[in-house]
């Protein structure tokens, strides 16, 4: 019985990150923003890719789609290189002033729908 309890706890703790990352209600869905800037950092990892987008007034953390979805839509990690110009349309976080959940990203004239 002790082994089953440990297994159940382990499974619960493993699932916590998956449960925690889908807080889309934390973003202002009625206030779309379009930002253009240069990619300062890039992360193409589960559960969601991210970029740090340096705009004229600040650097934003942009939450992208899961890597599998981006790959299926033709957006590879190579396209998100540091120094590349990007335009993102998305929704700002309600309490984190420099975070945006991206709906689409445009790189070199190519638009990728992320949601």
Q: What confidence score (pLDDT) does residue 100 get?
A: 98
pLDDT in tens, 28-45: 999 999 999 999 999 999
Domains of the chain: 25-113 (2.40.50.1010)
Whether the CB-CB separation of 51 and 59 falls below 8 Å is answered with no
pLDDT at 71 over 70: yes
Confidence grade of residue 24 (pLDDT, cut at 50, 70, 90): confident
Residue with tokens 């990690």: 77
Share of the chain above pLDDT 90, in %: 78
Whether the CB-CB separation of 50 and 99 falls below 8 Å is answered with no
pLDDT at 83 over 50: yes
pLDDT at 67 over 60: yes
């Amino acid at each position: 019985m002790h082994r089953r309890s440990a297994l159940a706890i382990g499974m619960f703790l493993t699932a916590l990150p998956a449960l925690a990352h889908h807080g889309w209600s934390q973003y202002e869905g009625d206030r779309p923003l379009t930002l253009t800037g240069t990619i300062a950092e890039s992360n193409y990892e589960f559960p969601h890719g991210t970029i740090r987008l340096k705009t004229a007034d600040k650097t934003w953390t942009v939450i992208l789609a899961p890597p599998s979805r981006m790959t299926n839509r033709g957006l590879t990690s190579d396209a998100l290189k540091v120094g590349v110009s990007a335009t993102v349309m998305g929704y700002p976080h309600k309490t984190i002033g420099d975070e945006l959940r991206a709906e689409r990203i445009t790189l070199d004239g190519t638009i990728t729908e992320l949601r």
